[in-house]
Amino acid sequence: MALTVKGDEPALVLGFWFIRQVRQPSQASCEYTFELPTTPGCGYLFFRKHQYKAEKCPSQNSKLPRSMITCTDLARIMSESEAVKGALPVGATSPQKPAYGLYAEKFSGTAFTAPRGENLQSWLYRILPSAAHKPFEPIKRLSNTSFNQPLHHIPNQLRWDPFNTNANADWTDSMHLVCSAGNPCMKQGLGILIYAAGKSMETNEAFSSADGDFLIVPQQGVLDIQTELGRLLVRPREICVIPRGTRYRVSLPDGSVRGYILELYQGHFQLPELGPIGSQGLANSRDFQIPVADYTADTETEWHHITKFNGEFFTAKHNHTPFDVVAWHGTYYPYKYDLGRYNTIGTVSYDHPDPSIFTVLTAPSDHQGTAVADFVIFPPRWLVAEDTFRPPEFHRNTMSEFMGLIDGIYDGKERGFSPAGASLHNIMSGHGPDAEVHEKASNEDLKPVKVGDGSMAFMFESCFMMGVTDWGLHECKKVQPDYSDNAWGALKPSFDLAVDRKTE
């Protein structure tokens, strides 16, 4: 897609987390053309087109300092959106009277004084502020997310059969805490949940969590998520992140849904550093998609806002919809990503690199290089290493590893690890390929081979020791009692006992 820009200044084209500058071909020309990528999902497709003109628009205050530019700027601007032209203020965030009678509301995901590179704040321009509601009251839901329950810290390897679907549950009733570490009150740690729902939320309900950011991994069914900042349609093999406090409603346009959630109590997700990989690879920033403003003007219907607060559910009545944000700008917003766009890195010589090369998103801890949580995937990829045992190695890890399977067969576990199931290998619990996979990989002809076709496994890795809830260990009735024996019981020693011991 080509855009022609007229003017005396260079144009800035801003995409998701990156900036590209387009310069004029010469000072003699006041017109130049540049290309914007048209790849579906590219960040440019989600940014508002600005037109700065000399005439006064409803959001401009003539007393504010600004340049009087008479030409039209067709560049798109990073991380902002307006559903009504002129709803975003120009040159300010909190005008005395926002355009169209809107209210300006700040939405903070970090402390005001967080370092600039980590600071997450957005400004919302809405019909009524979110503070306008009745007091919250406790409410019972079918979800099992309470932190007032015992956690079982056990070193056993655990594996779960596929979790059940639930035709009678909506999103707020669908969530079950499987394991967790830390405390959302202290903003430390994380929780891992399974969701399974069979119906949409009520038309006048919205949900949010004050406990942390939701990283949602659908395994079955489509999530139509209406958030305050716009809509996201999330399907299996896509993920989305809903920031702490964001209000949203989940509809199910394609029937029952099931999947996994990592709730991050501590910090926020970001792209991993690439180091020697260079400037691109793994999950590229341009492939992340953010919503555009999409509001409803409803100030008469009674709405119910359900929030999760320290694992418990509360509800408050509103006399207006929470989805009334006409425009927004900033760095704190929901987003989604297509896992099929992941640029996989691997060895082209020998040996088996660590699975950190498959990291999509990371939430750093205070210790450099150590994550509160990493989201790692095992996508279709070529294996070409010579004289190498190619499957994932046998391993004991100072990090805990929770794995799930979206579809297909995981190359390290050919039997017993099914889509919609899971496994947990806690800190220092030995794990690795099962006996059958080990035997096969130890003797196969090492030709280039593509693994994982039709498959997508993932891992939530954390520096924390995970405690398993009663629901995860007993009530769900999905734990495989013979997991360890079935996976590794058939391994036999092959060491030649007759070999001479080395002597000094």
**pLDDT tens digits for range 378-414:** 999 999 999 999 999 999 999 999 999 999 999 888 7
133 is catalytic: no
Amino acid letter for position 425: H
Model pTM greater than 0.95? no
Please indicate, yes or no, if residue 352 is contained in any of the structural domains.
Answer: yes
Q: Using CA atoms, how far apart are residues 198 and 207, in angstroms rounded to an integer?
A: 17
Angle at CA of residue 124, ends 130 and 310, nearest 5°:
50
Contact in structure between 169 and 140 (CB atoms under 8 Å): no
Q: Cβ neighbours of residue 475 under 8 Å, at least 6 residues apart?
A: 144
Of 352, 425, 438, 474, catalytic: 352
Does the pLDDT value for residue 263 go beyond 80? yes
Summarize pLDDT for 301-318 with one digit per residue, the tens: 999 999 999 999 999 999
Please indicate, yes or no, if residue 38 is contained in any of the structural domains.
Answer: no
Please indicate, yes or no, if residue 242 is contained in any of the structural domains.
Answer: no
Annotated binding-site ranges: 395, 401, 410, 431
Summarize pLDDT for 88-115 with one digit per residue, the tens: 998 899 999 999 999 999 999 999 999 9
The predicted model gives 430-450 an average pLDDT of: 94
Please indicate, yes or no, if residue 233 is contained in any of the structural domains.
Answer: no
* Candidate from 77-91, 295-309, 349-363 with smallest mean pLDDT: 77-91
Local confidence band at 415 (pLDDT 50, 70, 90 cut-offs): confident
Q: What is the CATH number of the domain that holds 411?
A: 2.60.120.10
Please indicate, yes or no, if residue 484 is contained in any of the structural domains.
Answer: yes
Please indicate, yes or no, if residue 291 is contained in any of the structural domains.
Answer: no
Strand 257-264 and strand 103-108: the pairing is: unpaired
pLDDT number for residue 63 = 60
Annotated binding-site ranges for Fe cation: 395, 401, 431
Q: Using CA atoms, how far apart are residues 180 and 177, in angstroms rounded to an integer?
A: 7
How many other CB atoms sit within 10 Å of the CB of residue 494? 6
Q: Using CA atoms, how far apart are residues 410 and 458, in angstroms rounded to an integer?
A: 9
Please indicate, yes or no, if residue 385 is contained in any of the structural domains.
Answer: yes
Please indicate, yes or no, if residue 445 is contained in any of the structural domains.
Answer: yes
Contact in structure between 122 and 330 (CB atoms under 8 Å): yes
Contact in structure between 183 and 265 (CB atoms under 8 Å): yes
Q: Cβ neighbours of residue 240 under 8 Å, at least 6 residues apart?
A: 215, 216, 223, 225, 232, 234, 334, 335, 336, 337
Annotated binding-site ranges for homogentisate: 410, 431
Q: Cβ neighbours of residue 48 under 8 Å, at least 6 residues apart?
A: 76, 77, 80, 81, 82, 88, 292
Q: Residue 356 phi/psi, 5° resolution? A: -60, -20
Burial class (CB in 10 A: 0-12, 13-18, 19+), 469: buried
C-alpha closest to that of 215 among 240, 250, 246, 190: 240
Q: The domain containing residue 482 runs over which residues?
A: 343-488
Contact in structure between 329 and 125 (CB atoms under 8 Å): no
The two tokens of residue 182 are: 């830390």
Q: Using CA atoms, how far apart are residues 390 and 348, in angstroms rounded to an integer?
A: 12
Does the pLDDT value for residue 51 go beyond 60? no
The predicted model gives 123-145 an average pLDDT of: 95
Tell me how many domains the chain contains: 1
The predicted model gives 28-41 an average pLDDT of: 38
First-residue to last-residue Cα distance in the chain: 72
